[in-house]
């Protein structure tokens, strides 16, 4: 098998995995009272979907980044299945990545937080694209703070490419955050974390989930990321699930319990 053929197969697997996530979740019944009226809107040049769980004025927020080729609504159906307490309103912000050419996919344009040039970790690190997307996350955090939500009540979630952006910005953000949840992803620019990380987020909780059978981002990349962070003194919780490059209901329920443990 040629290298180009292998790249094509893995790219198709990545796209099909993302479709599987959306299809699996959207097949579940919708109980969230805003899920069927959600709309993508652009504020401060950032397209996003904004929803709220619970009643009242939120003092907590979650920014959740989708993966390569997906859209802002990809993880919206998860909200009712997290089992979050109704008496703690949480604002959810699901930003939409801009379309960009993805080198590993023959230059095809698709929603992506940064370019991926090949299979190696070096080829998965696009400094310019990462900086642009990290700036979007920082801007969203500032928006939430302006709305009265303290940075210490803001969680960053991300899947695959979105998780890499969460790692990158979350570890470097100058204000303390509530925590990071990085799903089926890897730590980009790992060699720079020691010198670029912010002291404000050295002790925040970091949750890492990965599928044992992930063919898109091998579980070894997730494990290596955790080992790097632990060696640097970070508190990281690792959870591995019997799945591919996707999410599963057991994991979703555990994510809800983790959120409650952070916000209690």
Q: Are 57 and 91 in contact (CB under 8 A)?
A: no
Catalytic residue among 160, 173, 184, 210: 160
**Is 245 an annotated catalytic residue?**
yes
Only one residue has tokens 């703690």, namely 88
- Looking at the DSSP bridge assignments, the partners of residue 43 are 46
Establish how many alpha carbons lie within 13 A of residue 67's alpha carbon, considering only the half-sphere containing its beta carbon: 23
Catalytic, out of 60, 66, 168, 245: 245
Say how far apart CA 195 and CA 110 lie, in whole Å. 33
Residue 199 to residues 131, 164, 216, 251, Cα–Cα distance (Å): 19, 19, 32, 30
What's the DSSP call for residue 113?
A: S
Q: Is 131 left (phi over 0), alpha (psi -120 to 50) or beta?
A: alpha
32, 74, 214, 225: the active-site residue: 214
Chain position carrying tokens 């299979």: 119
SS3 145: helix
Annotated active-site residue 160? The verdict is yes
Catalytic residue annotation: 160, 214, 245
């Amino acid at each position: 098998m040629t290298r180009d053929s292998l790249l094509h197969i893995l790219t198709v697997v990545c796209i099909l995995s993302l479709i599987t996530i959306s299809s699996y979740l959207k097949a579940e019944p919708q109980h969230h009272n805003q899920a069927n009226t959600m709309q993508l809107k652009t504020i401060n040049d950032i397209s996003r979907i904004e929803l709220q769980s619970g009643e009242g004025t939120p003092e907590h927020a979650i920014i959740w980044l989708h993966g390569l080729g997906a859209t802002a609504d990809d993880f919206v159906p998860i909200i009712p299945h997290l089992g979050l307490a109704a008496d703690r309103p949480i604002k959810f912000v699901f930003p939409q990545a801009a379309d960009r050419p993805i080198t590993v996919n023959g230059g095809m344009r698709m929603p992506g937080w940064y370019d991926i040039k090949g299979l190696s970790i070096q080829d998965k690190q696009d400094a310019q694209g990462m900086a642009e997307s990290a700036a979007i996350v920082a801007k969203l955090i500032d928006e939430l703070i302006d709305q009265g939500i303290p940075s210490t009540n803001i969680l960053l979630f991300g899947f695959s490419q979105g998780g890499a952006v969460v790692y990158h910005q979350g570890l470097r953000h100058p204000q303390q955050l509530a925590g990071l949840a990085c799903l089926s992803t890897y730590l980009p620019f790992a060699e720079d974390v020691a010198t670029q990380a912010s002291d404000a987020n050295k002790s925040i909780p970091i949750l890492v989930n990965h599928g044992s059978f992930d063919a898109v981002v091998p579980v070894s990349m997730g494990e290596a990321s955790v080992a790097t962070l632990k060696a640097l003194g970070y508190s990281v919780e690792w959870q591995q699930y019997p799945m591919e490059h996707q999410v599963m209901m057991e994991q979703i329920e555990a994510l809800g319990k983790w959120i409650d443990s952070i916000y209690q």
